[in-house]
Amino acid sequence: MRRLIKHYRVFAVLALSLAAICLHGYPRVIAPPGKRRSAAMPLGDPKIRVVRMAGDNNFPPFEFVSPSGEYKGFNVDIMRAVALELGLDLELIPMPWATVKDALDSGAVDAVQGMKYSAERDRYFDFTRPYFRSTQAIFVRSDNVSISGLDSLTGCSVAVQEGDYGHEVVRGIPGAEPVVFENQESALDALISKSVDAFVGNRYVGHYFAQKKRKTADLKIVGSPIDPTDYAVAVREGNRELVDLLNKGLEAIKKDRTYDKIYEKWFGEEIQPPAAMLKRSFIFLQIVLVAAAAIGLFVLRWNTVLRREVAARTVALARSDALKDQILNSSSAGIVAISSGGRVITANARALELMGANRDRVEGRQWEDSPVADLFDRELVRRGITGAASARNAETRVTRDGKEMVLGYHIDPLHGMDGRERAPRRVRGSAPREGGLRVGVLLTFDDVTENRNLQEALARRDRMEALGKLVAGMAHEIRNPFTSIKAFLEILPQKYDNPSYRAEVLRHVPAEIDRLDGIISEILEYSRPRPPLEESLDVPSLIGDTLALFGPRLNRAGISVETGIAPSLRVRADKGQMKQILINMILNAVEALEGGGSLRILAREENGMAFIRVIDDGPGISEGDLPHVFDPFFTTKEKGSGLGLWIAYELTRENGGDIKIRSVEGLGTEVSLTLRLAGG
């Protein structure tokens, strides 16, 4: 009975449509605005009412001109149904989308049959009630793994349709490069041909063209749907009479389900004949029953196998406990396991040897009452047990048989498979840990006395080598001024009455003395360093203030400066020392570019650290000189002291950072400074 009523309603709609065609004529599709008639009759005219309605000429399945010249699509059928319902004479005018809004704004057309609503567009047009929910999507090639959403389009070329909502979206992404096309088909073709990295456009349109071109296997949609928004008819601002009239028509075709039929026609609903559906249901039921029977048999079989396996594992575990004890006791490092409740679970033979204790004094006791508390930092052990922190490469000193011994140790989390403490056979009554798989801590330690002594000897040797280089460098640098002064003094008795000689003495000797004073002052300044006064520093301001010191010199030398600094970047360091480091870095670059060139300063966060890079395209540093740039008194400059980079290196290390230089002779130099982030 329901089927008969449904067919009756379909026939009734068709009959009414035929009657309307006979009375009013079929809605017409005409050429672009230049070929239509000049003016439309006002909507209030009772004899004939003409609505000129524009639409995209290539936006399938919503609206498009077919190869035969017919204007088709979901929007076209909706507007034709509305026109039939209202008795309107509808002129559908296909045109490129980039010209549609201008045509509506200028009055060349009365309405646009489908436009995505936005607050910006609502300022210029009025909209009917929405008749569709439109969404944008990101299309990429199937082999693309770098683009996963809008935020990953930075630095990518993105195809869009001119004037489309997707165009507005891409323009709002910093660093994204929109590549504009007349229609979405051309934009998708650019993606298929690998001319662009991605295409942002209507989800349905992109899918339609991908199917049409048989490229669905080559493309994919990534990320979440972009801004699902209402889709409605747009009219000129203030034309409420047309808006109200179209709203009535849209409401009518939704009420009589004409809208539903048009939707199913263009966006699909697979309709199976009742017999086929029944057959499919029967087959599905058979599959479910067979699967249920198979699962039942599998469960029965699995229970039998599981019981056997449990029995076998019980025996194996009894044997494996002895093997585990043997493995632990064979380890060359001491191992102590402590439960989350603070009880010592187990300790291997090496641990007992290093602690100088027997097993009864260690295992089964609270760690505070065992030798563990006497040997290791109590706070570190306590924080490890509570899960607040782990400890790596910690050290403690103990005395054994009158000799001092250094123990190096680690405190790491101990995890169980079922979230409970795994107490050894000797300890009973261990309580289950509350939540999670962390069941305590593992304390591993060993005698590192020999290694520590060797490291200290190497450190002393390194310090002596550094001191030797420093003294040799000072001797060399100081000898040069003294040689000049001595040369003047040796001939002073013979040329004392010579005015030009006295002038040379007065010019050169004070300069050499000032040079000596400068070298000694720099050495003394660094030899009495104060501890860094760490504070949170704003990197953009710090770099800006430092660059300002070089402004006149940069202009005179014709050096162009480019900066790329993260605006919110902050580091923790001594402000005065940081400024001295930056001055040395920038000064070296400026001196390398005295003949002109470009200087780039970049600063951003990477992997939890702050990176500041000073890059110049000067002559670079030779491969032979590069390993020595941080040595004191090493310089390739005619009047350089060779202390700038050495001091910058030492100050950087004192502030917990690192400084490196990369250079290619003839191409330029990059100085990279790594610092801790503020709060890090």
Q: Is residue 647 a part of any domain in this protein?
A: yes
Distance CA 153, CA 176 (A): 6
Predicted pLDDT of residue 435: 43
Q: What is the pLDDT of residues 610-667, one digit of tens each?
A: 999 999 998 888 888 888 787 776 666 655 556 777 778 888 888 889 999 998 888 8
- What digits encode the pLDDT tens for the residues 46-85? 443 789 999 999 888 899 998 898 999 999 999 999 999 9
511 and 434 part of one domain: no
- Name the burial class of residue 125, with classes exposed (0-12), middle (13-18) and buried (19+) by CB atoms within 10 angstroms of its CB: buried
Instruction: Judge whether 275 and 77 are in contact, CB under 8 Å.
Output: no
Given 498, 527, 556, which residue is the final one in a domain? Answer: 527
- For the stretch 401-436, pLDDT in tens is 777 888 888 888 887 654 444 444 444 444 444 444
Tell me how far apart the alpha carbons of residues 196 and 210 are, in angstroms, rounded to a whole number: 16
Q: Judge if 436 and 481 occupy the same domain.
A: no
Indicate the pLDDT class of residue 288, thresholds 50, 70 and 90: confident
Sequence-ordered list of residues with C-beta below 8 angstroms from that of 244, at least 6 positions apart, any chain? none
Q: Residue 279 pLDDT > 80, yes or no? A: no
CATH number for the domain harbouring residue 347: 3.30.450.20
Report the SS3 class of residue 354.
Answer: helix
At residue 108, the 3 state secondary structure works out as: coil
If one counts the domains in the chain, the total is: 4
DSSP secondary structure string for all residues of 379-414? HHHHHHHHTS--EEEEEEEEEETTEEEEEEEEEEEE
Q: Are residues 499 and 564 in the same domain?
A: no
Assess whether 410 and 512 both reside in one domain: no
Q: Which pLDDT does position 624 carry in this prediction?
A: 81
- Asked if the structure places residue 112 within a domain, the reply is no
Q: Which of 27-36, 130-139, 511-520 has the highest mean pLDDT?
A: 130-139
Categorize the per-residue pLDDT at 481 as very low, low, confident or very high, splitting at 50, 70 and 90.
low
pLDDT in the model for residue 680: 55
Query: 459 with 437, same domain?
Result: no
Is position 171 within any domain?
yes
Question: How far, in Å, CA of 306 to CA of 350, rounded?
Answer: 39
The rounded distance, in Å, linking the Cα atoms of 292 and 297 is 9
Residues 545 and 665 in one domain: yes
Q: Does 486 map to a domain?
A: yes
Comparing 526 with 228, the larger pLDDT belongs to 228
Segment 460-465 shows an average pLDDT of 60
Axis crossing angle, helix 74-86 with helix 258-267, rounded to the nearest 10: 160
pLDDT bucket at 598, cuts 50 / 70 / 90 = very high
Q: Residues 377, 441: one domain? A: yes
Nearest alpha carbon to residue 97 among 126, 120, 64, 130: 64
Question: Domain containing 463 — which CATH number?
Answer: 1.10.287
Could you report the per-residue pLDDT of 485-504, keeping only the tens digit for each? 766 677 777 777 788 777 77
What's the confidence (pLDDT) of residue 652?
87
Instruction: Out of 209, 232, 255, pick the residue that ends a domain.
Output: 232
pLDDT attached to residue 471: 60
The answer to whether 340 and 421 have CB atoms below 8 angstroms apart is yes
Q: How far apart are CA 48 and CA 41, in angstroms?
A: 7
Q: What is the pLDDT of residue 16?
A: 36
Q: What tens digit of pLDDT does each residue of 174-212 get?
A: 999 999 998 999 999 999 999 999 999 988 889 888 988
Residue 530 has pLDDT above 80, yes or no: no
- Which pTM value belongs to this model? 0.34
Residue 515 lies in a domain: yes
pLDDT number for residue 27: 41
Q: Which CATH number is 611's domain given?
A: 3.30.565.10
Tell me, yes or no, whether 573 and 670 share the same domain. yes
pLDDT category, 131, cuts 50, 70, 90? very high
408 in a structural domain: yes
Average pLDDT over residues 474-495: 66
Residue 395, domain extent? 331-447
Q: Which of 123-137, 289-303, 401-415, 492-506 has the lowest mean pLDDT?
A: 492-506
Does some domain include residue 435?
yes
Shared-domain flag, residues 335 and 420: yes
Residue that finishes a domain, picked among 527, 544, 578: 527
Q: What is the pLDDT confidence band of residue 39, given thresholds at 50, 70 and 90?
A: very low
Q: Select the more confidently predicted residue: 330 or 9.
A: 330
Which CATH number characterizes residue 204's domain?
A: 3.40.190.10
Give a yes or no: residue 121 inside a domain.
Answer: no
Same domain, 358 and 417: yes
Confidence check: pLDDT of 273 > 70: no
Query: What pLDDT sits at residue 474?
Result: 60
Residue 114 pLDDT more than 50? yes
Residue 130's CB: how many other CB atoms inside 10 A? 15
Provide the pLDDT for residue 318. 56
Considering the domain architecture, whether residues 553 and 667 belong to the same structural domain is answered as yes
Looking at residue 606, its pLDDT comes to 87
Q: Tokens representing 303? A: 């229970």
Question: What does the block give as tokens for 320?
Answer: 């494996």
* pLDDT on residue 470: 60
| Mean pLDDT estimate for the chain | 79
513 and 402, same domain (yes or no): no
Do the bridges between strand 219-236 and strand 334-339 make them parallel or antiparallel, or are there none, so unpaired? Answer: unpaired
